[in-house]
Amino acid sequence: MISTKSVKPALEQAYIKLMMDVIGRGLVMASQVDDEIRHEVSKFPVGFTLSMDVFQNDIAFIAKVTPQQDLELLKSLEGKPDLTITFKHLHHAFLVFSFQESTAQAFANDRMIADGDLSYAIRLVRCLNKMEALILPKLVAELAVKEYPSELTLKEKLTGAANIYLKVAQSYLKGSV
The domains of the chain, with CATH numbers, are: 4-166 (3.30.1050.10)
- Decide the pairing of beta strands 60-65 and 49-54: antiparallel
What element of type H or E holds 45?
none
Q: Are the C-beta atoms of 52 and 24 separated by less than 8 Å? A: yes
d(CA 65, CA 74): 10
Please state, for a pLDDT cut of 90, what percent of the chain lies above it: 62
**Taking every pair of C-alpha atoms in the chain, what is the biggest distance, in angstroms?**
54
d(CA 71, CA 91): 27
pLDDT at residue 147, as a whole number: 83
d(CA 54, CA 134): 24
pLDDT at residue 150, as a whole number: 86
User: pLDDT per residue over 145-157, tens digit each?
Assistant: 888 888 888 899 8
d(CA 123, CA 104): 12
Of the pLDDT bands very low, low, confident and very high (cuts 50, 70, 90), residue 5 is: low
pLDDT of 140 above 80:
yes
pLDDT at residue 7, as a whole number: 55
User: pLDDT per residue over 103-116, tens digit each?
Assistant: 888 988 999 999 99
Name the average pLDDT for the chain.
90
d(CA 124, CA 40): 8
d(CA 127, CA 135): 12
CA 70 vs. chain centroid, Å, equals: 14
